[in-house]
């Protein structure tokens, strides 16, 4: 099963422990993780279901390139990390 972990900068607002989830895609994995902490969804995804600009999502240490495509296939043992990204100029 894939492993999903949210960075401390996010979990200080909404507690959500690291967890293994049954999921075939990144979108499914995030949805399963949000079941444990429903309020986290609004920190991570926008109203259209895309990853917010201030959030970065990594699958096996590789940042996802397209914030709106969450259909990335996951394998058992894959690691998903969700962090707060720095923005600004």
Structure letter (DSSP) for residue 23: -
Q: What is the pLDDT of residues 43-81, one digit of tens each?
A: 999 999 999 999 999 999 999 999 999 999 999 999 999
pTM of the model: 0.92
Of 12, 74, 2, nearest in space to 37 by CA: 12
Q: What is the pLDDT of residue 87?
A: 62
Instruction: Give domain 3-84's CATH number out of 3.10.20.30, 3.40.120.10, 3.40.50.1220, 3.20.20.20.
Output: 3.10.20.30
Q: What is the pLDDT of residue 19?
A: 96
58 close to 47: Cβ distance less than 8 angstroms? no
Q: What is the pLDDT of residues 4-23, one digit of tens each?
A: 999 999 999 899 999 999 99
């Amino acid at each position: 099963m894939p492993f999903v972990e949210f960075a401390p900068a996010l979990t200080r607002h909404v507690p959500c422990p690291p967890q293994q989830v049954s999921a075939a895609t990144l979108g499914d994995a995030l949805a399963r993780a949000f079941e444990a902490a429903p309020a986290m969804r609004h920190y991570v995804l926008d109203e259209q279901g895309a990853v917010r600009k201030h959030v970065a999502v990594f699958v096996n240490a590789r940042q996802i390139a397209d914030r709106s495509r969450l259909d990335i296939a996951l394998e058992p043992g894959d690691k998903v990390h969700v962090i707060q990204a720095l923005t600004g100029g």
